[in-house]
């Protein structure tokens, strides 16, 4: 494993993964649960263990909706969404690793699509 990944993810997220007591409430409330290979509680403990390459290679990092349900409902204030975000940033910040580019946008447009959808997706999926 790349030892810098864990350090960078902890720094970027600002999350203390040791606070997690494994209750699973974050994953239970996650609207993207069914779409994810690794679920919010797994992000927290896999980062704690340094088991990060699997997370970085997984499509799960693009399934978080940033709805803050896990952040709000965690009884320990762990804020799992920030860990998911930090893992995604660790991937897309690398050269050539943007998940969405401006060239992809025209094919995704329809007449009612709000600008909000485009700018939010660009912010989340590219650097």
Partner 1 sequence: MIFSYYPGCTLKNKAQDLDRYARLSAEKLGVALEELEEWQCCGGAFSMGRDEIASKLASVRALNAAKEQGRDLVTLCSACHNVLKQANDAMANDADFSLRANNYMQLAAPYRGETQVIHYLELLRDRVGFEALKKAVVKPLTGRKIAAYYGCLLLRPSKVMGMDNPENPRIMEDFLRAIGAQPVTWAMRNECCGGYAVMEDRGLAAQKSERVMDNARDMGAEAIVTACPLCLYNLKKNTLKEGRLPVLYFTELLAEALGVKD
Structure tokens at 48: 């704690």
All residues at 6 or more sequence positions from 46 whose CB lies less than 8 Å from its CB, including other chains: 38, 52, 54, 55
CB 2 within 8 A of CB 53: yes
- Taking the C-alpha atoms of residue 5 and residue 48, their distance in angstroms, rounded to an integer, is 11
What x/- string results for residues 64 through 83 when contact with partner 1 is judged by CB under 8 A? Answer: -xxxxx-xx------x-xx-
CB of 112 to partner 1, least distance (A): 6
Please report whether residue 85 would count as binding partner 1 according to CB under 8 A.
Answer: yes
Site for partner 1 (CB under 8 A): which residue of 17, 47, 52, 86? 86
Binding site for partner 1 (CB under 8 A): 11-14, 31-32, 35, 62-63, 65-69, 71-72, 79, 81-82, 85-86, 89, 99-100, 108, 110, 112-121, 123-125
């Amino acid at each position: 494993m790349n030892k810098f990944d864990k350090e960078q993810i902890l720094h970027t997220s600002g999350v203390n993964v040791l606070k997690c007591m494994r209750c699973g409430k974050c994953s239970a409330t996650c609207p993207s649960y069914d779409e994810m290979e690794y679920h919010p509680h797994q992000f927290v403990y896999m980062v704690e263990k340094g088991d990060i390459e699997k997370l970085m290679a997984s499509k799960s990092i693009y399934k978080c909706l940033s709805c803050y349900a896990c952040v709000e409902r965690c009884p320990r204030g762990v804020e799992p969404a920030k860990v998911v975000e930090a893992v995604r940033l660790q991937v897309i910040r690398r050269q050539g690793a943007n998940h969405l580019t401006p060239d992809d946008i025209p094919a995704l447009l329809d007449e009612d699509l709000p600008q909000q959808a485009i700018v939010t997706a660009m912010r989340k999926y590219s650097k």
